[in-house]
Structure 1
Amino acid sequence: MDWQEFLTGESGRHELSMEQTQTLLALFSRERVPLNQTELSLTLSISEPTVKQRMGEIYRKFSASFPELDNHQGAGKSRILHTKLKQKYYQPSQPVVAPYPEEFISLIEEKIRRFCGRQFVFDTFQQFITDNPHGYFTIVGDAGMGKSSIVAKYVWEHQSPCYFNILVERRNRPELFLKSIRRQLIDRYQLPKSEDADLPTLLAQVAGKLTAGDRLVIAIDALDEVEQEPGGNLLHLPKNLPNNVYFLLTRRPYSFDKKQLLVDVPVKELDLRDKEYVDFNQDDIKEYIRYALNTDLEYKDKLRNWIQSRSISETIFVEQLTNKSQDNFMYLRYVLPAIAKGDYKDLSLTQLPDGLQEYYQNHWVRMEIDAKPGQLMEIVLYILLEIGTPIPCEMIAGIAEKGECHVAQILENKWVEYLKKQEVDGEICYTIYHASFLDFLKTKREMDSNRRIFQEVNQRIAEYLEEGMT
């Protein structure tokens, strides 16, 4: 774990806001000497009074771990905090280990990197825990509304056991869920002879170890992506729970006759689409856009250049982009970087796509996929769609019957924002990043199911796999 990763972890453990986390990372960007107040102001493009206010909150939150910050009067607190954090970072007897599975660390860190708002969700869940001795709390929302990010943020701050169902990685089966949660609970609560225990038994064992005031919250993302045989609850979640045991769940909407969670304990659903949350959603979307404009070191300067070149005020940009986003954070995740990279240099604010699906279609048209069917860009994308699991560039090139360097260019330049890179058995592999883009591609496949490209891709995959077996 490098220095910046360590600082990000400490920020989460001390419940710093996104702006405070960015300030801490900038403050200690030089590992040996902290920035001073003026340097910090220039680095973050904020006023010195704002820097002072943020630092005051940072010192207050870290004082629980380092009382010296409260006891010290006047200047020098940044050096005290820097020294204490460095001591913790280099202390060999107490390594900093994330309390969640290694398979989800990169996902969690990515989801919380630009996290903003959603306090109303956390407050509602906390109230549910306060009001009920046990139970299931489900967050419902459309693709891109930030459900996975909410779970990631909660897990990061509360160090909860977790599982993220990921359809495009085939990490969405009950047996995989149970294996992961069992390992987490055994390691965390020192449960002897539990390697083959079922979930109700594990929960009962943990409940017996909880001290007064302690609770077990297990967070599970994307129940809608679970694949299992008909019958029973999703992931075989138990109908009954011991006291002080709760599940925080997320899913997309589905009709009442689809898979349900049938339980005999208190349940509550928070549907992010409900009218009562419209203002909260829009406030959080605006906070995300303002963060990109004013704080995000990667994009803020280029975004400001874009709006200034069009004589657009920040207020108008925030308001209109909020309307275009349709309360969808995934839309912003794509559109804001695209603006910063210059993809929309010839468009006005009103010409930006409306909503996530129009954004996907807009990108599809700009890539000239339909105009030039059968090009390598399209073949690579449909190989990823048809394979459905993380695969290396070499395998994609083999199926496409093209040079590996040409395929790598496509992966890293044309489709990079839609793909997730991860290391599998020592190789860099690629999968489609988000279920909403997967849905868009499947729609294309259904609309064009008779196109020769699909037959060709599937034939190439079959031939490649057959050759590998001989």
Structure 2
Amino acid sequence: MEHTETLLAALLSPEREPRNQAQLSVELSISEATVKQRLGEIYKKFGNSFPQLVDQKGAGKLDILFIKLKQKYYPKLDPVFAPYPEEFRSLIEEKIRRFCGRQFVFETFEQFITENPHGYFTIVGDAGMGKSSIVAKYVWENQSPCYFNILVERRNRPELFLKSIRRQLIDRYQLPKSEDADLPTLLAQVAGKLTAGDRLVIAIDALDEVEQEPGVNLLHLPKNLPNNVYFLLTRRPYSSDKKQLLVDVPVKELDLRDKEYVDFNQDDIKEYIRYAIDTDPEYKDKLRNWIKTRSISETIFVDQVANKSQDNFMYLRYVLPAIAKGDYKDLSLTQLPDGLQEYYQNHWVRMEIDAKPGQLMEIVLYILLEIGTPIPCEMIAGIAKVDECDVKKILEKKWVEYLKKQNVEGEICYTIYHASFLDFLKDKREMDSKRRNFREVNQRIAEYLEEGIV
């Protein structure tokens, strides 16, 4: 009972933050030494459920316990507003469908919020390390306002970001006469409505894909923030001289590539692979059969595929389904591609793109690359000057895993799925010194558009 009394007194403070030992001593009319002894017993009891308590040395255990209990038991009420904007619904739902791990990221962000009255928290990582999925998972679980910058859809400009966030904040907080308000004004209005213990977290993905003029903060994010307002950001690495977020509030960067996160990344990658072979209804049986026919253990499969992934979830998103579909039926485990770029190159070779330049498969990809926005199959066929059925076969069979299919005003349209594959195609374009195929595609695009105007 005394442990329960101490725990409740520690966590259920009017300030909605854990009390320290001195405050508990006064609250419970006991010595600080007794408080310390009771808390030590409490930490031991929760050690099995929350191993971070065991790993934490010195101060900070009560904050960790507070965060973990709140994450596990705090009731999330159904919001009266849309939990996330409709424009990002399909993206968010796709990103979280096979989400695994990354708990260390969420815990570090929660600690940042606990320790700072406001601020910017940035997750840095290479393409395919799961940054967008982390944001999607956070938004899904916390119903946070959000914006996903998407280069391949040209949804990456400051005016589009402000329009979306403004609408979300107005709907959530019933902000009157704010249809033309700028971001600092909106944040100030929301901060004035927050009750004790509440906070506003705005999640923004892929700052590296933002298109705007240099010399100002990306997306015109404000230098100063009201209390209890935070931004959760992601971006790919860039050199320090290109930094485009200069602010006067607390900031923290969590770089997924840092050595301190190597073990966490490996654990999460392995969890993803184990999910695929143990749980995923779409792939588990075929993956297990592939493993069985090669007389290897699931443990060896998990360890070696994790090593080949180079901590890249996008690699797993492509390679595991490819194994299940039989693309690697003639290969051993050690012959699987090493890393995402080698995977792309292997697929490029299997499609015989370099061996047979100018074929329709290549033209379709280049059209998608050059157009850069979601386009329907009919338009691709018109540009390529071929039958629509032939293009549809290419889109649905040859390149389906690399493309995003979406409904745009009642019409099914296609774009390149991920920035890493977009980069791969751009590199191919740069290596083509003559650029004959690209010039031909651009000429066909120009002719198609001219015909449409006429």
Same fold, TM-score > 0.5, yes or no:
yes
> C-alpha displacement at 1:452, in angstroms?
1.6
* Residue of structure 1 equivalent to 2:179: 195
Q: Which amino acid aligns with 1:188?
A: R
Tell me, what secondary structure is at the counterpart of 2:121?
Answer: strand
> C-alpha displacement at 1:98, in angstroms?
3.7
Alignment of 1:420-435 (within 5 A): 420-435=404-419
Q: Structure 1 unaligned segments of length 5 or more: list them.
A: 1-60, 67-93
Figure out how many residues of one structure are paired with residues of the other and give that number.
384
CA contact (8 A) 1:234 1:259 kept: no
CA contact (8 A) 1:353 1:362 kept: yes
2:149, 2:319 → 1: CA distance?
Answer: 26
Distance change in 2, residues 1:96/1:413 (3 Å)? farther
Deviation track 1:69-96 (CA, whole Å, cap 9, x = no partner) reads xxxxxxxxxxxxxxxxxxxxxxxxx999
Tell me, what secondary structure is at the counterpart of 1:423?
Answer: strand
2:209, 2:288 → 1: CA distance?
Answer: 38
CA contact (8 A) 1:165 1:226 kept: yes
> C-alpha displacement at 1:65, in angstroms?
8.6
* Residue of structure 1 equivalent to 2:261: 277
Tell me, what secondary structure is at the counterpart of 1:428?
Answer: strand
The answer as to 2:101 corresponding to 1:101 is no
Specify which of 371, 375, 379 is matched with residue 355 of structure 2: 371
1:454, 1:159 → 2: CA distance?
Answer: 43
Tell me, what secondary structure is at the counterpart of 1:264?
Answer: coil
Deviates most, 257-266 or 158-167: 257-266
> C-alpha displacement at 1:449, in angstroms?
4.1
1:230, 1:120 → 2: CA distance?
Answer: 33
CA contact (8 A) 2:363 2:441 kept: yes
Specify which of 235, 244, 251 is matched with residue 251 of structure 1: 235
The TM-score normalised by the length of structure 1 is: 0.80
CA contact (8 A) 1:147 1:221 kept: yes
Larger radius of gyration: 2
Q: Which amino acid aligns with 1:141?
A: G
> C-alpha displacement at 1:451, in angstroms?
3.3
The answer as to 2:285 corresponding to 1:310 is no
Deviation track 1:176-219 (CA, whole Å, cap 9, x = no partner) reads 00000000000000000000000000000000000000000000
Specify which of 421, 429, 447 is matched with residue 445 of structure 1: 429
2:173, 2:149 → 1: CA distance?
Answer: 24
Specify which of 121, 130, 133 is matched with residue 137 of structure 1: 121
Alignment of 1:26-425 (within 5 A): 98-425=82-409
CA contact (8 A) 2:215 2:244 kept: no
> C-alpha displacement at 1:450, in angstroms?
1.2
> C-alpha displacement at 1:241, in angstroms?
0.0
* Residue of structure 2 equivalent to 1:464: 448
Tell me, what secondary structure is at the counterpart of 1:346?
Answer: coil
1:448, 1:267 → 2: CA distance?
Answer: 42
2:233, 2:118 → 1: CA distance?
Answer: 14
Q: Which amino acid aligns with 2:341?
A: Q
Q: Which amino acid aligns with 1:420?
A: K
Q: Which amino acid aligns with 2:138?
A: Y
1:306, 1:62 → 2: CA distance?
Answer: 40
Tell me, what secondary structure is at the counterpart of 1:430?
Answer: strand
Point out 4+ residue stretches in structure 1 off by more than 3 angstroms.
61-66, 94-98
Q: Which amino acid aligns with 2:280?
A: D
The TM-score normalised by the length of structure 2 is: 0.83
Distance change in 2, residues 1:62/1:200 (3 Å)? closer
